[in-house]
């Protein structure tokens, strides 16, 4: 059938136009799409699953994104900042547990001076591990200084490439500046991760197809794609959440379009669906991000509900749970830093 031909073309040429992407996103039975993505994943990045140890070091945020529980105006959550020494201790713990990448994530908190962040990065780099930052939109100069201090990668989701939807959900922010950040990061030599939220109110399959075309165009090194999960005390609290199957189709299409990149099975996917990590790993994903922060703070980093149960060691994204899960799927745990294995171009 037509769709089979499309999938085959994608699997061999890794290219496709927008209308065709929309057709595949609408597939009634996506099993062949998933299988093709799984083959391409295996061929290009192998069976290794790379672990990226996540440290959520501050939940203060100046932004007001409609979907996010950390938005500035949300007065119902208790705010925290970790001390630089605490952040470094967590990184040391992660390194001792065998992790080769640490991800430092926070809300857009102006409290931390770039200089302070640089010192933290320099300390962590002494552990001979990769450092990924996920701290939002900054100036070109700040990105340059963080890179000089040793940061290797940066995560900044575009969230949606539909400008109108973007502006509606991000008051006071601009789509152009977000793209400027991604271009700066690339120019400065970071490995660049971006991605989108799936199931935002008003988002269509055409918009998701545009997201994928954008990812291909900017040649993203990493793509984090997860379902939107409505969060209490945000403007979108009563909206419907994203659909797991569409997230899986987005992962599979990402793998087919950009065969050699890193694609996480996201925490939001695992929160939305008990088998989310496993499903993601079978649809093209090759990365998982265990949370290696401090339990007391994990509860407060509430982007969306369901992330942290009463007992944080039972969290889906605890290091122990994730290691077991990977081995149960006959996959291996990556032992190197897990940079993008550039094969094409």
Site for ligand 5AD in 71-110 (CB under 6 A): none
Q: Is 229 in the site for ligand 5AD (CB under 6 A)?
A: yes
Half-sphere exposure of 167 (CA within 13 A, CB side): 4
Per CB under 6 A, does 280 bind ligand 5AD?
no
Please state whether 227 falls in left (phi above 0), alpha (psi between -120 and 50) or beta.
beta
- Applying CB under 6 A, the span of 36-44, 89-97, 213-221, 222-230 interacting with ligand 5AD comes to 222-230
Q: Which of 32, 34, 37, 67 binds ligand 5AD (CB under 6 A)?
A: 67
Q: Is 252 helix (H, G, I), strand (E, B) or coil?
A: helix
CA distance 86 to 106: 14
CA distance 110 to 226: 26
Member of 37, 169, 192, 303 binding ligand 5AD (CB under 6 A) = 303
Taking the complex as a whole, the smallest distance from the CB of residue 284 to ligand 5AD amounts, in Å, to 19
Q: With binding defined as CB under 6 A, does residue 57 bind ligand 5AD?
A: no
CA atoms within 13 A of residue 55's CA, in its CB half-sphere: 28
51 vs 38: CA distance, rounded Å: 19
Contact stretch for ligand 5AD (CB under 6 A) within 83-91, 200-208, 223-231, 309-317: 223-231
Element (H, E) at 132: strand 130-134
Question: Binding segment for ligand 5AD among 4-12, 20-28, 221-229, 293-301 (CB under 6 A)?
Answer: 221-229
Q: Which is nearer to ligand 5AD, 36 or 247 (CB)?
A: 247
Q: Work out the end-to-end distance of the chain between its first and last CA atoms, rounded to an integer number of angstroms.
A: 31
Nearest-approach distance from CB 291 to ligand 5AD, in angstroms: 12
Nearest residue to 135 (alpha-carbon basis) of 158, 111, 108, 117? 108
Of residues 16, 173, 244, 268, which one binds ligand 5AD by CB under 6 A? 268
Residues in contact with ligand 5AD by CB under 6 A are: 67-68, 157, 159, 197, 226, 228-229, 231, 268, 303-304
């Amino acid at each position: 059938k037509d769709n089979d031909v499309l999938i085959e073309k994608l699997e061999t040429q890794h290219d496709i136009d927008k209308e065709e992407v929309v057709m595949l996103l609408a597939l009634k039975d996506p099993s062949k799409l998933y299988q093709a993505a799984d083959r391409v994943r295996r061929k290009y990045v192998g069976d290794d699953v790379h672990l990226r140890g996540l440290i959520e070091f501050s939940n203060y945020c100046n932004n007001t994104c409609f979907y996010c529980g950390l938005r500035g105006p949300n007065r119902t959550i208790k705010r925290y900042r970790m001390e630089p020494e605490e952040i470094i201790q967590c990184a040391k713990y992660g390194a001792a547990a065998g992790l080769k990448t640490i991800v430092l994530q926070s809300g857009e908190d102006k409290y931390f001076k770039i200089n302070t962040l640089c010192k933290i990065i320099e300390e962590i780099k002494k552990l001979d591990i990769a450092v990924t930052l996920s701290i939002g939109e900054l100036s070109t100069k700040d990105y340059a200084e963080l890179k000089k201090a040793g940061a290797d990668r940066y995560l900044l989701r575009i969230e949606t490439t539909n400008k109108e939807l973007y502006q509606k959900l991000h008051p006071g922010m601009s789509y152009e500046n977000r793209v400027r950040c991604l271009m700066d990061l690339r120019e400065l030599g970071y490995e660049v991760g971006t991605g989108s939220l799936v199931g935002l109110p008003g988002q269509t399959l055409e918009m998701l197809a545009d997201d994928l075309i954008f990812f291909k165009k900017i040649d993203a090194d990493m793509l984090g794609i997860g379902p939107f999960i409505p969060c209490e005390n945000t403007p979108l609290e009563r909206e419907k959440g994203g659909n797991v199957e569409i997230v899986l189709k987005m992962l599979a299409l990402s793998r087919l379009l950009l065969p050699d990149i890193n694609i996480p099975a996201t925490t939001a996917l695992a929160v939305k669906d008990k088998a989310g990590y496993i499903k993601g790993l079978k649809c093209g994903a090759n990365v998982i991000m265990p949370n290696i922060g401090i339990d007391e703070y994990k509860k407060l980093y509430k982007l969306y509900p369901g992330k942290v149960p009463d007992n944080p060691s039972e969290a889906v994204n605890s290091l122990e749970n994730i290691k077991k899960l990977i081995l149960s799927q006959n996959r291996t745990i990556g032992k190197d830093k897990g940079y993008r294995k550039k094969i094409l171009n």
